[in-house]
Amino acid sequence: MENKMIASVFEEMGNILDIQGANFFRVNAFRKASITVLNLPNDLSSVVNSDPKSIVKIPGIGKALSDMIIELVQTGECKEHQKMKKSIPEGLLEILKLRGVGPKKVKLLYLNLAIKSIPELKDAAEKGLIRTLDGMGEKSEEEILKAIGEYSLFSTDRHLIGKARREAEKYIEYMRSLENIKSMQYAGSLRRYQETIGDIDILVTVDDPARESKDIMSHFVEYEDVIKVVAEGRTKSSVILRSGVDVDLRVVDKDCFGAALHYFSGDKHHNIRIRDLAKKKGLKVSEYGVFKGDKKVGGKDEEDIFKAVGLPYITPEIRRDDGEIEYGLKHKKFPEFVELNDIKGDLHAHSTYSDGDNSLKEMAEEFMRNGYDYCAITDHSAAVGIVGGMDASKIKQQWKEVDKLNKAFGEKFKIFKGCEVDILKDGSLDFSDDILNELDIVIVSAHLHGRIDPDDQTKRLIRAAEHPSSMIMGHPTGRLLNKRAAMKFDLEKVIDACVANNVALEINSSPERLDLSEKHIKMAKDKGAKFAINTDAHGFSDMKNMEFGVGMGRRGWLEPKNVLNTYSLRDLTAYFKSI
């Protein structure tokens, strides 16, 4: 558990006590402890693992707080914290997240208006009840409603990987203007290509941390998009950006950069397994390196960590204690997982024939500029309700343009005649067989009827997979990250149907979808499924999302041979003719 999470627990405990009207000194003890923990140069998890008795020596951290820190690191929660949370209505803590609303105000609202949640607070403000309280007025109501509106935009603490990646790249580019930075790398869930990101962790090294860290930290907090400096220390600083993303910067010694990169890349379950393996070999692994007794024996490079515990290098995407440790110990080598440069084309893209931003010709030419050998333009069929969705006449018109462009491109590039055909409520497809039979690539996707009975949904998707023209099942679960849950159905049965009927499963690279998830990718791979990693591009900028789909593929242990669009044009054409 990171210092920031421990600090947030102590801050919350102080807030709960304040709401309850507890003794000022007790409230303040937790708040001071929160600030102390947040500004510590060392990670408390490492201290707990190496020398837990030393925590009580930290100024402002007594025996009780020390025990809580150890409990948090070792178990992930604190019993006293959980007890406190149960002592007040759960919604009060959420109200505290609103800008300008502190514990005293929460207590006032609760005792006088029985407000226990943000919806109740919104209702009271809209009815003019807030202004009746002592110290509150019409402006107070306006500010509360404004704060609720802002909060709704950031109601999840996790950000889509596309957003986090953009913020990380801009920040790193800004930091590179400092010539004394020798190396810099983002870590955490962003490096592991997790679908959503809690915060961005950036590690940097310099020749002389003692002398140069202050300038680096000053530069870091002066970034133009910073709206709040949470902490500014000698080796670690934390800020919040206008986008709502939290960013942490750590300056680490170059001799332990690999160890720090491994530690802060996580995930925590993987790291625990690595430490356990090290302990069995008489070693200690931390963010500072690999140690045998007091002697440091590795840590400059990430490979040092794995070598020390008898493992081959494990790529960050699969570090989650989901079989990677056992596989590495047994085989001593991992498969070559799919990489971005393995991708030869994109099999799911849209043009102005339906809801795309660019013409068919413009999309094809941009794919060519991206170094691809082929693409499939797969505009929507009409049933999905997209303005301009294609009927039989329109798709035949598109075919003529595809033929004309393919003739002009010659052997340099090929456009496959495709369509994203909607799966109707009964599982039939939104085009007649005579149209479907003329297409090179048929993607079958469910855009409507996502809430029907799970058994009916399963039968619907299986029927679509069993259609002789189906080739790829698009965004199979229908999830929209942070917005909409996946459809309810028996995915395993649908995967079985796809495998039995040679229907590939799409990994949709859109950061809003990233569908399938790594869990389901791995399950489908084990069943012998084929995959297509597609961007579902509706314009040029969407094409850059391919790396996120590849990241999901790597998280699911996919190799190039599992992914159709790693095939050469010749091999892919032959494959589609064979099924």
**Structural domains present in the chain:** 3-153 (1.10.150.110), 159-331 (3.30.460.10), 340-578 (3.20.20.140)
What's the confidence (pLDDT) of residue 336? Answer: 98
Task: Write out the chain's pLDDT in tens, 579 residues.
Answer: 678 889 999 999 999 999 999 999 999 999 999 988 887 877 888 888 888 889 999 988 999 999 999 999 888 889 999 999 999 998 999 899 888 899 999 999 999 999 999 999 999 999 999 999 999 999 999 999 988 886 765 556 789 999 999 999 999 999 999 989 999 999 999 999 999 999 999 999 998 888 889 999 999 999 999 988 999 998 999 999 988 899 999 999 999 999 999 999 999 999 999 999 999 999 999 999 999 999 999 999 999 999 999 999 999 999 999 999 999 999 999 999 999 999 999 999 999 999 898 999 999 999 999 999 999 999 999 887 665 689 999 999 999 999 999 999 999 999 999 999 999 999 999 999 999 999 999 999 999 999 899 999 999 999 999 999 999 999 999 999 987 889 999 999 999 999 999 999 999 999 999 999 999 999 999 999 999 999 999 999 999 999 999 999 999 999 999 999 999 999 999 999 998
* Strands, sheet with 295-298, edge to edge from the N-terminal-most edge strand: 284-286, 289-292, 295-298
Integer Cα distance of 350 and 418 in angstroms: 10
DSSP state of 531: E
The first and second tokens of residue 328, run together, are 């590495």
The first and second tokens of residue 274, run together, are 């690595």
Cβ proximity of 255 and 309 under 8 Å: no
Which string of DSSP letters, residue by residue, matches 264-283? HH--HHHHHHHHHHHHHTT-
Secondary element (H or E) of residue 376: strand 374-377
The first and second tokens of residue 141, run together, are 């109501």
Cβ proximity of 288 and 46 under 8 Å: yes
Q: 240, 242, 261, 241: which is closest to 250 by C-alpha?
A: 261
Q: 357, 340, 180: which is closest to 251 by C-alpha?
A: 180
Cβ proximity of 421 and 429 under 8 Å: yes
Cβ proximity of 157 and 94 under 8 Å: no
What's the confidence (pLDDT) of residue 67? Answer: 93
Backbone angles phi, psi at 201, to 5 degrees: -105, 125
pTM to 2 decimals?
0.77
Integer Cα distance of 244 and 309 in angstroms: 39
Integer Cα distance of 213 and 217 in angstroms: 6
What's the confidence (pLDDT) of residue 350? Answer: 96
Cβ proximity of 103 and 91 under 8 Å: no
Alpha-carbon dihedral sign for residues 520, 522, 526, 532: positive
Integer Cα distance of 92 and 353 in angstroms: 50
What's the confidence (pLDDT) of residue 437? Answer: 96
Helix 79-86, helix 63-75: angle, nearest 10: 90
What's the confidence (pLDDT) of residue 333? Answer: 97
Q: 17, 40, 32: which is closest to 62 by C-alpha?
A: 32
Integer Cα distance of 255 and 47 in angstroms: 19
Sequence-separated contacts (24+) of 236-243 with Cβ below 8 Å: 236/41, 238/4, 238/38, 241/167, 243/159, 243/163, 243/167
What's the confidence (pLDDT) of residue 173? Answer: 96
Secondary element (H or E) of residue 421: strand 414-422
Integer Cα distance of 129 and 109 in angstroms: 10
Using CA atoms, how far residue 29 sits from 18, 19, 26, 92, 251, in Å, is: 12, 15, 5, 21, 29
What's the confidence (pLDDT) of residue 150? Answer: 67
What's the confidence (pLDDT) of residue 146? Answer: 86
Residue ranges in 383-453 assigned as alpha helix (H): 392-409, 433-436
Residue ranges in 131-285 assigned as alpha helix (H): 138-153, 161-175, 188-191, 209-221, 257-265, 268-280
